[in-house]
């Protein structure tokens, strides 16, 4: 038998197995889309995977430019994706996320939290000093309407509930805060400089506005407005900034052979902190919409809410809210 005849015979034999390939492709598709939970299907997929690999290897050699080979490539890729699909346990995954993964991710960026906090506090002090020393610099940080309101001896937050209902205010505030927080994180992509800029600017603005209200005897009122939601809101700003800084550091000082790999690892690790930030900001939004602008709440109530929510944040970031204690083993989802 010549080589050409032998190869033709091999091709014909290979094509006779097409019914098996179709079955394998269909089974992989069923398992991928969750249209079957039959154990025997899952077990047979392993055999299918081997069968497709074997026949694809032959097809690549015997009929490299045929559409049969393309079909096998597709079926093999489908079987591969199905076989390597992670098991889906949404409830367990969520519990594991809050109990173990968020605390571990937060722990991994401890040093970044300290540095970003330092940056924020420094910017706060600098902003306050600038406006205290050169009052006209407030024009750099605040809008003309805000300046005019404070100069009239009023705080811009007074009568807020007469203009916008609490629910609308809450949703507007939490949406805005979440976007700022996500932006502070994503800006870490610019080698951390974006995060540095956003955190620094927010610190400068807060310090400047506090100094400006102090000049008009309204700083107590501003503190009264901020304390209930601000403890967590500002902490979350620092947290998301720290997560962004960790992403930036991964690009500046990669711990893997490739920068892109280091970036990916840092982004996936720190994204868990971001989930916690979003959840906490939802709470902040409601406090800022319902409690902060409502004058009927006395200062002590606001302090209790602010400090209490901050302690809840710490407990959540340590995993205590979800049953994690010191020495608890991590649970894989």
Partner 1 sequence: MNGRSPTSLEAPRDEADLVVDSATGVNVSLPVAGAGARSYAFIIDWHIRIVLFLAWFVVATLVYNGSWDLAPPAEPTAGYFGLVIAPGAALYFLYHPVLEIAMRGRTPGKRMAGVRLVTRQGAVPSVPAHLIRNVFRLMDFFPVCYALGLVVVALTKDHVRIGDLAAGTLLVYDRREHEGVLEHVNPAVIGTRLDVSTAELVEELLQRWQTLDASVRQRLARTLLARIEGVAPESISLSESRLYTRLMQLARGSEA
Binding residues (CB under 8 A) for partner 1: these are: 5, 8-9, 11-13, 15-16, 18, 21-22, 25, 32-33, 49-50, 53-54, 56-58, 60-68, 70-71, 73-74, 76-77, 80-81, 84-86, 93, 164-168, 171, 175, 179, 182-183, 185-187, 189, 247, 260, 263-264, 267-268, 271-272, 274-275
Closest CA to 304 of 314, 315, 312, 295: 312
Q: How far is the CB of 43 from partner 1 (least distance, A)?
A: 16
- Specify the residue, 167 or 328, whose C-beta has the smaller distance to partner 1: 167
Q: How far apart are CA 150 and CA 153, in angstroms?
A: 5
Q: How far is the CB of 260 from partner 1 (least distance, A)?
A: 6
- Specify the residue, 49 or 196, whose C-beta has the smaller distance to partner 1: 49
- Specify the residue, 187 or 218, whose C-beta has the smaller distance to partner 1: 187
- Specify the residue, 112 or 272, whose C-beta has the smaller distance to partner 1: 272
Q: How far is the CB of 112 from partner 1 (least distance, A)?
A: 17
Q: Are the C-beta atoms of 253 and 120 separated by less than 8 Å? A: no
Q: How far is the CB of 267 from partner 1 (least distance, A)?
A: 4
Q: How far apart are CA 90 and CA 42, in angstroms?
A: 20
Residues in the chain: 333
Q: How far is the CB of 16 from partner 1 (least distance, A)?
A: 5
Q: How far apart are CA 328 and CA 143, in angstroms?
A: 50
Per the structure block, which two tokens stand in for 162? 């007469």
- Specify the residue, 268 or 304, whose C-beta has the smaller distance to partner 1: 268
Q: Are the C-beta atoms of 263 and 251 separated by less than 8 Å? A: yes
Round to the nearest angstrom and report the end-to-end CA distance of the chain.
Answer: 57
> Which residues have C-beta within 8 Å of that of residue 262, sequence separation ≥ 6?
250, 251, 254, 255, 256
């Amino acid at each position: 038998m010549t080589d050409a005849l032998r190869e033709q015979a091999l091709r014909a034999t290979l094509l006779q197995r097409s019914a098996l390939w179709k079955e394998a492709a269909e089974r992989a598709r069923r398992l991928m889309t969750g249209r079957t939970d039959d154990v025997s299907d899952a077990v047979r997929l392993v055999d299918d995977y081997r069968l497709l690999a074997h026949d694809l290897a032959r097809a690549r050699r015997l009929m490299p430019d045929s559409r049969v080979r393309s079909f096998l490539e597709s079926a093999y890729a489908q079987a591969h994706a199905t076989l390597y699909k992670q098991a889906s346990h949404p409830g367990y995954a969520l519990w594991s996320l809050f109990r173990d993964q968020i605390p571990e991710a937060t722990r991994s960026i401890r040093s970044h939290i300290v540095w970003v906090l330092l940056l924020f506090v420094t910017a706060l002090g600098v902003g306050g000093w600038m406006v205290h020393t050169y009052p006209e610099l407030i024009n750099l940080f605040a809008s003309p309407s805000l300046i005019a309101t404070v100069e009239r001896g009023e705080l811009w937050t007074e009568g807020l509930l007469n203009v916008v209902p609490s629910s609308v205010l809450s949703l507007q505030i939490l949406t805005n805060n979440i976007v700022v927080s996500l932006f502070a994180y994503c800006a870490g992509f610019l080698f951390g400089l974006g995060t540095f800029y956003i955190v620094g600017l927010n610190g400068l603005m807060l310090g400047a506005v506090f100094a400006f209200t102090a000049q008009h005897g309204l700083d107590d009122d501003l503190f009264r407005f901020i304390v209930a939601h601000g403890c967590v809101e500002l902490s979350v700003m620092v947290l998301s900034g720290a997560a962004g800084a960790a992403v930036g550091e991964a690009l500046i000082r990669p711990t893997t052979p490739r920068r892109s790999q280091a970036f990916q690892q840092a982004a996936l690790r720190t994204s868990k902190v971001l989930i916690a930030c979003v959840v906490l900001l939802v709470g902040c939004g409601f406090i800022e919409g319902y409690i902060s602008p409502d004058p009927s709440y006395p200062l002590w109530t606001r302090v209790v809410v602010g400090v209490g929510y901050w302690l809840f944040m710490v407990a959540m970031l340590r995993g205590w809210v979800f049953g994690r204690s010191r020495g608890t083993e991590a649970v894989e989802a």
